[in-house]
Structure 1
Amino acid sequence: MTQTLEQKRAQHAWGKAREGVNEYGSDYVNDAKGLPALIMNSGLMQVMAFLDGKGGRHTTLAGHLRDWLHLQCGTPNTSEAFMEHLFNADAQTFRHINAEAMAWLRWLRQLAPAVKGGE
């Protein structure tokens, strides 16, 4: 049986939510819930730079998103290389990466509280 892209997103987000909640608890849940709006308001590159600059759970969350984008879009998995990739991406590629980030985050936003509730 072949998984749909939505199933793959959900499965990956579930695993990352479990990691984040196990390590940071409600703080990770709150960050995951707010991240889509933050990206919509400020932009993907700005938010990724902000998360990596904050450290701790924020860097973990950024890493979780980068991991998905690496698997799905072929972007680099490290912070610096990821940013360089986005700097040099053409408009269509950038929009695709941004759309994929938001699609994955919709799952993380819903699944992180479910993981937290199931502790």
Structure 2
Amino acid sequence: MTNATENKIVTPEQRRAKAAWKVAQTLKDEKACDDFFKLCKKTASRILNSGLMPALAFLTSKKDDGQNASVLNAFKDQLSSNGLFVFVIGNQNTLLDRLVQNADGTMLRRAQSEALSYLEWLARFAEGRAIELKPKEGGVE
């Protein structure tokens, strides 16, 4: 008899949700969750208005800020973990470098679509985590 979970088909949405859930679990307090949620929404707007490359350039330029680095690392992990955006060329160590030097138009559109879909999950889970971590009124759990 085989294990039922071994036979289960995993959709791209399920993979995104699982990865976003792991990221959301690293957020330790309500403020961090709120900030992360807002940044996900702003990043999605940047991608829609300017494209993926300018949005990644912005996140890269602000990577010393913890939340920007978190979103950038989540992108990098998600885009490379699904096997569609893996590059092994020289010492390129940033997602932006890899996409600028190696991606064609089709790959950039796929990466942008993946990034927007993933941002939806990140924002949902960050918002939910903020509610979960919100102090209860009256101190009663």
Aligned length: 117
SS in 1 for 2:78: helix
Counterpart Cα distance in 2 of 1:103 and 1:80 = 24
- Of residues 8, 22, 40, the one that matches 1:15 is 22
SS in 2 for 1:118: helix
**CA-to-partner distance for each residue in 1:41-97, whole Å, 9 max, x for gaps?**
122111112112112211111111111001122335x98442222113111111111
**2:77 aligned residue:** 67
| Structure 2: 5+ residue stretches without partners | 1-7, 134-141
Structure 1 residues 79 and 67, CA, compared in 2 at 3 Å: closer, same or farther? farther
Counterpart Cα distance in 2 of 1:81 and 1:97 = 14
Report the structure number with the largest CA radius of gyration.
2
After TM superposition, the score normalised by the length of structure 1 is 0.85
RMSD: 2.1
Opposite residue 65 of structure 1, the aligned amino acid is F
Offset of residue 30 of structure 1: 1.4
| Structure 1: 5+ residue stretches without partners | none
Q: Percent identity?
A: 29
Flag the structure with higher helix content: 1
SS in 1 for 2:28: helix
After TM superposition, the score normalised by the length of structure 2 is 0.73
Counterpart Cα distance in 2 of 1:97 and 1:42 = 14
Counterpart Cα distance in 1 of 2:51 and 2:111 = 12
